[in-house]
């Protein structure tokens, strides 16, 4: 399910249609470091979960990497206490969550180890608290790493740099012409960085470039930006909020509708909203026949003007046989995120004579929350019968209808 604490890369998340190859030569993964407890920025949640321009910092940050065409896998490293908070904040982007360690360095190492089986050629490491990273900064950093082996985004030093003694008296002026302030992202050959972290275990190095340098690797600087600052103090959070609000263009709310029917057939359970429900019959279909999630997928695709589920996941393709339908919803939500949009609410009605769905309502709603990142108050879930009329009334099958609203940039 979306956002579960997975031990292995989740096949439902990696290898989405049209995505870059998830592992092996040329593939690039991103490790987003969000394990800090830093509340220096004020507020009652760590800064990476605070809202800027109405959106959690983490969602903005992971969105840049999840939507980047060169990045096939995104791993977010979080504090063990923050599971629910992180899933809510990250939204529906297809990412993995991994538990961090006692220091930033240990947290990055945990993220790297998670990628071991996937074995990407390159890895980007980025601080969750730098939400104004852009696709261009990511591309430049990765291109530089492809040329030099490793690269760190940064900005050349503009201020004169003074060295002082213990009481603040200047003892010298440092020539600034070759000085840079390092930022993230930082990009590396995955196996090189993993080995460098293993060699640096127990040392306190402040960024991954320093870990790579300690291992003797060449690291190039690539152009970052002044806007790619790290939210640390309360004034940074206020600046980030102002920037996020200023950069937001006009928005529009769009509505989508989806409808789906599946016939009952042989079997001992059905799946609705991702929840397995025991029944005297199964549902017939190419995938797991989860009509509720199919209707929801079609509603999201409809709101985006992106056709229907059959266009994205053809029945003729054997890879969708018996597929768990949460991947269809995740794909549609990924398209919404890539378009700069977000799901605002959803309202689902399931039309079914039997089994009785009321006992499963809470489980289905929890499943929808986990899948979409929406809070319970933005999810409508209803079941009805048709008073024994029609195919649903005769128990030949069931139907589901979904309506969603999406908040999108008004660019059309």
Nearest to 57 by CA among 29, 82, 86, 37: 86
Q: Closer CB to Mg ion, residue 294 or residue 327?
A: 294
Q: How far is the CB of 272 from Mg ion (least distance, A)?
A: 12
Among 82, 127, 260, 326, binds Mg ion (CB under 5 A): 260
Strand, coil or helix: 368: helix
Among the residue ranges 27-35, 80-88, 134-142, 259-267, the one whose residues contact Mg ion (CB under 5 A): 259-267
CA distances to 154, 181, 340, 388 from 225, in Å? 7, 10, 21, 64
CB 402 within 8 A of CB 382: no
CB atoms near residue 279 (< 10 Å): 16
Measured from the CB atom, the residue of 64 and 296 that comes closer to Mg ion is 296
- Residue 362, classed as helix, strand or coil, is helix
Other C-beta atoms closer than 10 Å to the C-beta of 335 total: 16
Kindly compute the dihedral angle of the four CA atoms of residues 278, 280, 284, 285, in this order, to the nearest 10 degrees.
0
Residue 295: CB minimum distance to Mg ion, A: 8
Q: Applying CB under 5 A, what is the total number of residues that bind Mg ion? A: 2
- The SS3 call for residue 247 is helix
Taking the C-alpha atoms of residue 142 and residue 64, their distance in angstroms, rounded to an integer, is: 14
CB 118 within 8 A of CB 23: yes
Closest to Mg ion by CB, 294 vs 342, is: 294
- Yes or no: say if 381 and 348 are a contact pair by the CB < 8 Å rule: yes
Rounded least distance, CB 391 to Mg ion, Å: 15
Beta bridge partners of 407: 253, 342
Q: Which one, 104 or 294, has the nearer CB to Mg ion?
A: 294
Q: Identify whether the C-beta of residue 376 lies closer than 8 Å to the C-beta of residue 365.
A: yes
Closer residue to Mg ion, CB minimum distance, 79 or 294 = 294
Question: Which of 48/287 has CB closer to Mg ion?
Answer: 287
CB 39 to Mg ion: min, Å: 46
Site mask, Mg ion, residues 17-56, x = CB under 5 A?
Answer: ----------------------------------------
Closer by beta carbon to Mg ion, 126 or else 294: 294
- Nearest approach in angstroms of CB 309 to Mg ion is 7
Q: Closest separation between CB of residue 99 and Mg ion, Å?
A: 36
**Considering only CA atoms, which of 40, 79, 67 is closest in space to residue 133?**
67
Q: Which is nearer to Mg ion, 208 or 260 (CB)?
A: 260
Choices 159-167, 260-268, 272-280, 383-391 (CB under 5 A): range interacting with Mg ion: 260-268
List the one residue from 104, 294, 331, 342 that touches Mg ion (CB under 5 A). Answer: 294
Residue of 135, 104, 281 whose CA lies nearest to 203: 104
- Give the range of 14-22, 89-97, 258-266, 296-304 binding Mg ion by CB under 5 A: 258-266
Q: Give the range of 129-137, 141-149, 205-213, 291-299 binding Mg ion by CB under 5 A.
A: 291-299
Instruction: Mark the segment that binds Mg ion (CB under 5 A) among 71-79, 166-174, 216-224, 290-298.
Output: 290-298
> Considering only residues 86-105, where is the footprint of Mg ion by CB under 5 A?
none
Which residues, including other chains, have CB under 8 Å from residue 171's CB and lie 6 or more apart? 163, 164, 165
| Dihedral over alpha carbons 157, 37, 367, 18 (to 10 degrees) | 20
- Which is closer to Mg ion, CB of 35 or CB of 289? 289
207 contributes a contact to Mg ion by CB under 5 A? no
* Nearer CB in complex with Mg ion: 127/260: 260
Q: State the CB neighbour count (10 A cutoff) for residue 164.
A: 10
**Of 63, 54, 405, 407, which is closest to residue 251 (Cα–Cα)?**
407
Q: Would you tell me which residues interact with Mg ion (CB under 5 A)? A: 260, 294
């Amino acid at each position: 399910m979306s956002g579960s604490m997975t031990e292995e890369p989740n096949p439902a998340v990696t290898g989405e249609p049209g995505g870059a190859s998830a592992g092996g030569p040329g593939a690039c993964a991103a490790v987003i470091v969000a394990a800090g407890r830093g509340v220096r920025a004020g507020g009652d949640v760590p800064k990476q979960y605070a809202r800027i321009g109405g959106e959690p910092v983490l969602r903005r940050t992971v969105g840049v990497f999840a939507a980047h065409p060169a990045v096939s896998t995104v791993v977010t490293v979080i504090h063990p206490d923050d599971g629910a908070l992180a899933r809510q904040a990250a939204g529906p982007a297809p990412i993995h969550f991994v538990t961090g360690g006692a220091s930033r360095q240990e947290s990055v190492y945990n993220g790297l180890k998670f990628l071991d089986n996937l074995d990407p050629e390159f890895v980007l490491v980025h601080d969750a608290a730098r939400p104004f990273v852009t696709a261009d900064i990511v591309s430049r950093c990765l291109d530089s790493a492809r040329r030099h082996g490793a690269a760190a985004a940064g900005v050349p030093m503009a201020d004169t740099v003074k060295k002082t003694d213990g009481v603040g008296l200047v003892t010298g002026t440092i020539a600034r012409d070759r000085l840079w302030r390092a930022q993230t992202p930082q990009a590396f050959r995955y196996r090189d960085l993993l080995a460098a972290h293993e060699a640096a275990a127990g040392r306190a190095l402040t960024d991954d470039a320093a870990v790579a340098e300690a291992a003797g690797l060449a690291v190039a600087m690539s152009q970052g930006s002044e806007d790619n600052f790290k939210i640390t103090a309360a004034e940074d959070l206020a600046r980030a909020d102002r920037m996020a609000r200023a950069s937001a263009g006009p928005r529009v709310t769009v509505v989508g509708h989806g409808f789906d029917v599946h016939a009952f057939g042989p079997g001992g359970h059905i799946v609705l909203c991702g929840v397995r429900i025991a029944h005297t019959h199964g549902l017939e279909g190419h995938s797991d026949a989860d009509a509720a999630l199919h209707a929801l997928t079609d509603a999201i695709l409809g709101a985006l003007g992106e056709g229907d589920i059959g266009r994205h996941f053809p029945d003729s393709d054997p890879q969708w046989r018996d597929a768990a339908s949460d991947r269809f919803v995740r794909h549609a939500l990924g398209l919404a995120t890539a378009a700069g949009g977000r799901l605002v609410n959803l309202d689902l009605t399931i039309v079914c004579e039997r089994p009785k769905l009321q006992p499963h309502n809470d489980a289905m709603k929890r499943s929808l929350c986990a899948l979409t990142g929406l809070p319970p108050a933005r999810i409508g879930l209803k079941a009805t019968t048709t008073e024994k009329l029609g195919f649903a009334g005769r128990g030949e099958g069931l139907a589901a209808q979904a309506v969603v609203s999406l908040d999108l940039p008004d660019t059309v």
